[in-house]
Structure 1
Amino acid sequence: MSLIVQKYGGTSVGTIERIQAVARRILATCRAGHQVVVVVSAMGKSTDMLVDMAKQVIDHPSPREMDMLLTTGEQVSTALVTMALHAQGWDAVSMTGWQAGISTEEVHTKARITEIDPAPIQQALGQGKVVIVAGFQGISESGQITTLGRGGSDTTAVALAAVLKADRCEIYTDVDGVYTADPRIVSSARKLARISYDEMLELATLGAGVLHPRAVECAKQHQVCLTVRSSFSEEEGTIIEEEADMEQGLVISGVAYDKNVAKITVVDMPAKVDTLSNLFAVLAAEHVNVDIIVQSSYEAETTNVSFSVSGDEVKKTLDVLHKQRDTLQFGYVVAEKELAKVSIVGAGMITNPGVAARMFTCLAEAGVEVKMVSTSEIKVSCVVPLEDMEKAVCNLHTVFGLDTKEKAVVY
């Protein structure tokens, strides 16, 4: 008997009717002779609602109390899905993250899973039950409830699939699979039948919301057979695997975007050998995540350093820099908001020269200003004005031959 882990996102369990439909899909998998472990997210926009409620109470809620609050969203979903299975005559049991044996670091709001004790789930499976696990959460060594960060239910599902040695892990969402671009922006985006772990990891990291980056990283590390498909149709999804052939000779597998980017420039820093290490050590100590970095020198004794951060972290970044101004000895700081990052990803870049040149030419012809650039073997990213993001994505999608005549499906 094979074991399948299924994960259902917030849209898939957004209403009672959808929860009942999810229960029917789970039962169909059981009746096909499989054991099933299910991971669920909070219903619809309930997490956003909880965040808004917290902010109405206090401007800066305690991270610990936010974890206590937000984990309730997934617990509602687990109980309701379990009840829906009971109503259809199937034995099932719901579990919180900690009841399912998921241990994490003691870091609130963005903890990482440290280990999973599979015994509670295996015991329930041995009793013939479907196990419904609350995603996105776990418990620290000292007994603190923690969350894995937004999108963490994907990571929960893949981690459980790895430790339980599941035959496959199915991620159910509101699209039929992984597309070459966000089908909400590019209606001519094509669905990929297969994509490599590395390409999917780049797309997820660069803003493609269909999978959480840590979930892809975990799947690659443990060689979990991973599929993305829709909970609203019976269409075949996208398989994420170690290596995937370029579809129809495509050099680029997809175009991704992140519309929440800011550029920070630290002006007139001492041009010393330890300038960069000092600057980014200060930011790292305060858990500021830095992405693209550009250094430029205008005078022999000073240098300017620019880097991108999430738009949500601008205030925190500026506060850290101003507190450390005497230590870092810079002149002043400039913050530029309302930016986006647009990226092309594809394993074909390794063997096809001139991809970056085509990208820059495309953006120039579209009148899109490029403010920062970052590259790797299989991706090129550009920071552009937010108002030009959609134009950039659509033009790049066309230039690299990703358009299809069929309209992408979004449920």
Structure 2
Amino acid sequence: MPNIVVQKFGGSSVATDERREQVIDKIINAINQGYKPVIVVSAIGREGAPYATDTLINFAQGVYDTIEPRAKDLLMSCGEIISTVIIAQALRARGYEAEPLTGAQAGIITDENFGDTRIKEINARRILDILDYNQIPIIAGFQGVSENGEITTLGRGGSDTTACALGAALHAEMVEIYTDVEGVMTADPRIVPNAKTLKHVTYNEVCELAYQGARVIHPRAAEIAMRERVPVIVRSTFSDAQGTVISDVFKQEEVEIKGDRPVSGVTSRSNLSFVKVFPKDHEGPSTLLESTSVLGCFRILAEGNISVDFINVRPEVITFMINKDTVEKACGLLDESNYQYEVFNDFVKISVVGAGMTGVPGIMAKVVEALTEAGISIYQTTDSHTTISCLIRDEDEESGLCALHDYFGLGD
């Protein structure tokens, strides 16, 4: 097996001629270091750019506002396919042979849950054949094919998933995720100006950061990397910075010892709606628990494929959060079963994440102190071994992130 490196380039990296030349430089640099690069690309640019995924969707919805899921996946796969050909052409212009491939041609087999499919297996034979011919495979991210031959997509951010899944299937030395920031950061630098790039994070930390809102790597990609123990490096396409290594093993001399720092980063999710569900029958059993409404509420949402988060069950009310794009469906299901409920869209989930908080007392107290001193009210909390999350008003999101980042000294 050759020394394979999977390199994934996001939409901002392939958006212009100048940026694409920087992409080619990264690929050539990998070759010069003795690697066989396998390239995964996203669609060119973001909404408004002519070949961006959202632009294509808006174009179709301008004709008729509802797109059938199978047809939508077919449409959404086009942007990445265009990118593969453009990057292959750019490599050929620099004297390197490259072969553009769709997800299907790359052997990525998925289920048929259109719009959010899961990879079932990867037949990497064609990719390996291309490498044997000393060519560079350029693979469309975010997509695959079902066993019935249907084109499918992996959900937004799915090119990261493609890269990590290929890294596992090809037994790659590493996966490099190239983006427009220099690595995994302690916070979103657009919100927290003194955010720092982390040299190293564990798989568990990056999974939690991703699920709690950090957008540097897709949560499913982080899960695959953790499960298959694929080393991942998040780097900038536009600089030579070392980036962030995601793994469970790293050199001790690379770690900056500044006391026992339990928190690695802070992040937030604002794409959530807060839902309160009340007892169904006030004349019958007196509590949700007695009336089995808890079981029924969560069952109908699960059957509707709606994921719930931040769950709190009390005798008088159930509360939880769901993605905003599932609110209409959730309300319909609750209405059909005659539940009384309220939906709020003015909350955000703010989280601190760190493998170092496991078994360390007082972290929740510090989170509460930081937010209270900033004048921010907390409406609900939840925690795990590596994450503490708080429900706050959306108007407090920026000040809350900055307060937590400063309180835990992440900018030092």
Q: TM-score range by the shorter chain?
A: over 0.9
1:291: how far off? 0.6
Amino acid of the residue matched to residue 276 of structure 1? Answer: V
1:256 and 2:267 correspond: yes
1:319: how far off? 1.1
Give the alignment partner of residue 307 of structure 2, picking from 275, 289, 293. 289
Give the alignment partner of residue 352 of structure 1, picking from 354, 357, 360. 360
Residue 116 of structure 1 is matched in structure 2 by 122
Give the alignment partner of residue 346 of structure 2, picking from 338, 347, 371. 338
Q: Distance in 2 between matches of 1:211 and 1:296?
A: 35
TM-score under structure 1 normalisation? 0.93
Q: Distance in 2 between matches of 1:192 and 1:115?
A: 32
Classify 1:389/1:379 alpha carbon distance in 2 versus 1 (closer, same or farther; 3 Å). Answer: same
Report the more deviating stretch, 245-254 or 100-109.
245-254
Residue 399 of structure 1 is matched in structure 2 by 407
Matched residue of 1:272: which SS?
Answer: helix
1:161: how far off? 0.7
Amino acid of the residue matched to residue 315 of structure 1? Answer: E
Residue 300 of structure 1 is matched in structure 2 by none
Matches within 5 A, 1:4-403: 4-45=5-46, 46-242=52-248, 247=256, 248=258, 249-269=260-280, 270-272=288-290, 274-297=292-315, 303-325=316-338, 330=339, 332-403=340-411
1:358: how far off? 0.9
CA contact (8 A) 1:260 1:339 kept: no
Report the more deviating stretch, 244-253 or 118-127.
244-253
Q: Distance in 1 between matches of 2:363 and 2:300?
A: 36
1:217: how far off? 0.6
CA contact (8 A) 1:195 1:243 kept: no
Matched residue of 2:44: which SS?
Answer: coil
Matched residue of 1:219: which SS?
Answer: helix
Percentage identity across aligned positions? 41
CA contact (8 A) 2:349 2:392 kept: yes
Q: Distance in 2 between matches of 1:127 and 1:292?
A: 51
Q: Distance in 1 between matches of 2:289 and 2:35?
A: 63
Q: Distance in 1 between matches of 2:123 and 2:163?
A: 14
Amino acid of the residue matched to residue 286 of structure 1? Answer: G
Q: How many residues align?
A: 394
1:57: how far off? 2.7
1:339: how far off? 1.6
1:144-168 Cα deviation digits (max 9, x unpaired): 1110000010010011011101111
- The unaligned stretches of length 5 or more in structure 1 are 298-302, 405-411
Question: Cα RMSD over matched residues?
Answer: 1.4
Residue 409 of structure 1 is matched in structure 2 by none
Amino acid of the residue matched to residue 224 of structure 1? Answer: V
1:360: how far off? 1.1
1:274: how far off? 3.6
CA contact (8 A) 1:39 1:153 kept: yes
CA contact (8 A) 2:359 2:385 kept: no
Matched residue of 1:403: which SS?
Answer: coil
Matched residue of 2:216: which SS?
Answer: coil
TM-score under structure 2 normalisation? 0.93
CA contact (8 A) 2:279 2:293 kept: no
1:54: how far off? 3.0
Q: Distance in 1 between matches of 2:35 and 2:411?
A: 38
1:314: how far off? 1.5
CA contact (8 A) 1:20 1:81 kept: no
Q: Distance in 1 between matches of 2:166 and 2:249?
A: 23
1:225: how far off? 1.1
1:243: how far off? 5.1
Report the more deviating stretch, 248-257 or 82-91.
248-257
| Structure 1: 4+ residue segments shifted above 3 A | 243-247
1:68: how far off? 0.7
1:71: how far off? 0.4
Report the more deviating stretch, 380-389 or 358-367.
358-367
Q: Distance in 2 between matches of 1:371 and 1:88?
A: 57
1:317: how far off? 1.1
1:269-308 Cα deviation digits (max 9, x unpaired): 44327432221110011111111111222xxxxx311111
